[in-house]
Amino acid sequence: MIRIASRAALAAASTFAIASPALAHMTFETAQSAPGEQFRGVLVLPHGCDGAPTDTIRVTLPQGFVDVSAEAKDGWTLETPGSDGQVSQIVWSGGSVPDDGHETFAFTGTFAADLPETDMVFAVEQMCGEVSLGWEPAVSLGDEPVSHGQDGSDAITVGDLELTGAFTRATLPNAPVGGGYVTITNKGDEADRLVSAQSSFSPDVQIHEMAVVNDVMQMQQLPEGLEIPAGETVTLAPGGLHMMFMNISAPFVEGETVPVTLVFEKAGEVEIELAVQAFGASGMNTSGHEGH
């Protein structure tokens, strides 16, 4: 469960993640560090959300990123919610960066010495009034540069829809749920809808959004499914819209794949394989579903 203090963030958080296609991703200026090292993360805003100015940036920190201090910005409210003296999120709100502005948001922390030499993912929500985008900039703690496995170019086409970057994350033994992520682009003239999903790994694959209930940010099922507007790209990503595999029958193992059949109202059914990436620290598969 993620507690949020900012009114602006609360108001903006309820609609989510309609990303424009073929635009630059949000990344860190420097994306290389190591276990035990201090790291200054500088997030570079690529653009607004569909032309709208950005008013809130919320960063959910990976576990093992400690001694965090965020850098205040003139004209923005800075909040760092967390528990037990550990900062779990950094929220800059109340400012405005125009669509063509080039603003940076920075913070400093230390990667714990016992972390593996893998990519550490920071889930970032970029909010522009009613619209928001989800990003997943990562920092490599090993010799390899950050891998962009989830941006893979193997596109699957069904009807007017193009599906790319299908992935999930390894789950811990006995974890009851797993996430599922994919980018869906509607190249047609009519809206379509992801109405359901099925997998041999779960008796109940749900489609979830982030929503604020009683001032608390929670996952929430979308019983009507998820609209894919004509000409738009909808991204399911950690920290935002996602598939939720309930009561999984076996753990998701890194390097393997998890099959899932997506059912669209117009385009019909398509089976895709979610590539299982390393157990991430993005929070989605760990603390994100407590009390859910």
Q: Which stretch binds Cu ion (CB under 5 A): 93-101, 154-162, 237-245, 265-273?
A: 237-245
Nearest-angstrom CA–CA distance, 135 and 206? 21
- Could you tell me where the beta strands, DSSP code E, fall in 230-267? 233-235, 242-246, 257-264
CB-nearer residue toward Cu ion: 41 or 288: 288
User: In angstroms, what is the minimal distance from the CB of 206 to Cu ion?
Assistant: 7
Q: Which stretch binds Cu ion (CB under 5 A): 57-65, 75-83, 127-135, 239-247?
A: 239-247
Residues in contact with 121: Cβ distance below 8 Å, sequence separation at least 6, in sequence order:
62, 136, 137, 138, 238, 280, 281, 282
As measured in angstroms, the least distance from the Cβ of 210 to Cu ion is 9
Q: Find the part of the chain contacting Cu ion (CB under 5 A) among 79-87, 130-138, 208-216, 245-253.
A: 208-216
Q: What is the CA radius of gyration of the chain?
A: 18
Contacting Cu ion (CB under 5 A), which of 244, 258, 262, 275? 244
219 binds Cu ion (CB under 5 A): yes
Q: Is residue 29 classed as helix, strand or coil in its secondary structure?
A: coil
Q: What is the DSSP letter of 26?
A: P
Q: What's the min distance (Å) between Cβ of 235 and Cu ion? A: 15
- Minimum distance, C-beta of residue 164 to Cu ion, in the bound complex (Å): 21
Alpha helices in 164-231 (DSSP H): none
Q: Which part of the chain contacts Cu ion (CB under 5 A), choosing from 162-170, 194-202, 205-213, 257-265?
A: 205-213
Q: Which is nearer to Cu ion, 200 or 287 (CB)?
A: 287
- Please state, as a whole number, how many other Cβ atoms lie within 10 Å of the Cβ of residue 5: 14
For the CB of residue 240, give the shortest distance to Cu ion in the complex, in Å.
10
- Measuring CA to CA, how many Å separate 1 from each of 217, 279, 287? 7, 19, 7
Closest separation between CB of residue 130 and Cu ion, Å?
22
Question: For residues 119 and 145, what is the distance between their CA atoms, to the nearest angstrom?
Answer: 9
SS3 call for 97: strand
Binding mask 58-77 for Cu ion (x = CB under 5 A): --------------------
Interface ranges with Cu ion (CB under 5 A):
208, 219, 244
